Amino acid sequence: MKHFLILAALGLLLAIPLRAEVPRPSPDFEWVDSTGSAKKSKDLRGHPLVLLVAPSPMDRTFRAQVGQLQKIYERFAAEETLCIAAFSSEPGVIRSNIPFLTVAKGAVTAAAYGAPTGFAIAIIGQDGNLDYSSNRVVPAQRIFDIIDNSYAKQMKLRRN
């Protein structure tokens, strides 16, 4: 009888379909497109995102992180990675050959990502999961590895 109950319980567990849910959803934000319209972060699903939060584009840490991204930007572009900037204090021009989307409400987004007055980087997977966040400059290869090893990317590579 005991073996029957164990087998029945195991059968029920196997019959339940498994769902993958986002364990750490990223905080929502609004970004501005080329026409000046505000769009939701959910519109960017399907692309890996690198969100940089800083007081201004002249912030030393922000410029250092952009320098890291420029080292292997071609590889990020091949993965359809989008770079986004949120400025908590003063907006400005980002001096870089990397195209950046800008966040409409930088101060609100900075607070949501835990950097109301300083620098932060967040890597958001294709599924909207907050895969990584830090308040330090991250080497470009490390960012690429995080994107390349995300759950959504690994599921695409698995054989059925």
What are the tens digits of pLDDT across the range 42-60? 889 989 999 999 999 999 9
The mean pLDDT of 58-72, rounded to a whole number, is 96
Number of domains, the chain = 1
Average pLDDT over residues 65-74: 95
Task: Please report whether residue 97 resides in a domain.
Answer: yes
Examine residue 127 and state whether it is found in any structural domain, yes or no: yes
CA-derived radius of gyration, the chain: 19
| Cα(80)–Cα(47) distance, integer angstroms | 6
d(CA 38, CA 14): 44
In this prediction, residue 21 carries a pLDDT of 59
Mean pLDDT of 32-43: 87
Answer whether residue 10 is part of any domain: no
pLDDT in the model for residue 88: 94
Q: Residue 125 maps to which CATH number?
A: 3.40.30.10
Q: Is 130 a domain residue?
A: yes
Strands 38-40 and 30-32: antiparallel
* Single-letter amino acid code for the residue at 14: L
Q: How many residues does the chain have?
A: 160
Q: 10 is written with which tokens?
A: 């195991």
User: What's the gap between Cα 65 and its chain centre?
Assistant: 15
Q: Which residues, 6+ apart, have CB-to-CB distance to 115 below 8 Å? A: 53, 54, 88, 135
Does the structure show a pLDDT above 50 at 141? yes
Task: Give the structural domain span for 111.
Answer: 24-157
Query: Is residue 87 within a helix (H) or strand (E), and if so which, with residue range?
Result: strand 82-87
Please write down the long-range contacts of 139-144, taking CB distance under 8 Å and 24 or more positions apart. Answer: 139/68, 140/68, 140/69, 140/70, 140/71, 140/72, 141/72, 143/50, 143/68, 143/69, 143/76, 144/72, 144/75, 144/76, 144/79
The reply to whether 11 falls in a domain is: no
Residue 72 belongs to some domain of the structure: yes
pLDDT band at 18 (very low <50, low <70, confident <90, very high): very low
Is there a domain that residue 151 lies in?
yes
101 belongs to a structural domain: yes
Q: What is the pLDDT of residues 79-90, one digit of tens each?
A: 999 999 999 999
